[in-house]
Amino acid sequence: MSDKQPILQVRNLSVDFQIPTGLFGKTKVLHAVKDVSFDLYQGETLGIVGESGCGKSTLSRAVIRLIEATSGQSLWMGKDITKMSPRELIALRKDIQMVFQDPLASLNPRMTAGQIIAEPLQIHYPEVGKEERTRRVAEVMQKVGLTPAMINKYPHEFSGGQCQRIGIARALITNPKMIVCDEAVSALDVSVQAQVINLLMDLQKDLGISLLFIAHDIAVVRHIAQRVMVLYFGEVVEIGDSEQVVTDPQHDYTKKLIASVPVPDPKMEMERRELRRRMRREAAAAA
């Protein structure tokens, strides 16, 4: 993809937090994200993978300025998001949307599915009339596998997978160029995970959307992403083509992530358990 211009360029992005350490207002600095750089291209999925607490969600939020970065740049089509005014940020939101980890917690329980999906249209396109808004909501619901007959139901009346589809529909309603999927399938069971992942892949193919896909399961990322970036304690330790990273990992942490993925072959799984035990002993000895 070197002949294409990236739509998103992240350069040396860092996020620090001040953590209270006890009495008298003392704090210490937690370096959640350290000097991260990457590009994202039109129509591409970049998977960001790592264990819980490695900085994946913090990075994704800092990239689109849901939280403030301590230093570095996040360039959207050449414009620095970290320096945008509030008005520019609001205009940016229609091009960059987000799907959150917990499908039920991310939906307002007092709003119907139709109201939830229509809300971004009301914010970014207030000139769109009620009839046209309802038509667009019904259209996007069908795209994500929900029937327009569900438009007046409330979140508690849906399953977890259906709630996540509502979240995806809400993200799609403004025709964004990029969607950030922050652990978008981790709260779902395996069969529903597969359905949502296949849905995202189909939508990306049909609409040409770029995805920033955050997950802790490298097997899931391998399935959906063209490239993968491995984070370890807030730092990028490996980035490259998904198949290459998974089949020929260069960093020890990437090897551990791959070794932690269960396989249905009992003999192979026993060999990998032994490998994981050996790696833990080596890590303990090194410490």
- What is each CA distance from 181 to 84, 96, 287, in whole angstroms? 23, 11, 35
Residue 60 near residue 33, CB atoms below 8 Å:
no
Residue 158 structure tokens: 């849906």
Let me know the angle formed at the C-alpha of 17 by 16 and 18, rounded to the nearest 5 degrees: 130
Q: How far is CA 31 from CA 2, 60, 67, 189, in A?
A: 31, 15, 14, 32
- End-to-end, the C-alpha distance of the chain in Å comes to 40
Instruction: Specify the CATH architecture of the domain 1-95+179-249.
Output: 3-Layer(aba) Sandwich (3.40)
What predicted TM-score, i.e. pTM, was given to this entire model?
A: 0.84
Q: Give the residue extent of every domain in the chain.
A: 1-95+179-249, 104-175, 251-287
Rounded to whole angstroms, what are the CA distances from 268 to 5, 87, 95, 276? 42, 55, 45, 12
Residue 108, token pair as written in the block: 């307002």
Per-residue pLDDT of the chain (287 residues; tens, 9 = 90+): 545 789 999 999 999 998 888 777 788 888 999 999 999 999 999 999 988 888 999 999 999 999 999 999 999 999 999 999 999 999 999 999 999 888 788 899 999 999 999 999 999 999 999 999 999 999 999 988 899 899 999 999 998 889 989 999 999 999 999 999 988 877 677 777 888 888 888 888 888 899 999 988 888 888 899 999 999 999 999 999 999 998 888 888 888 888 777 655 565 456 556 666 776 676 667 65
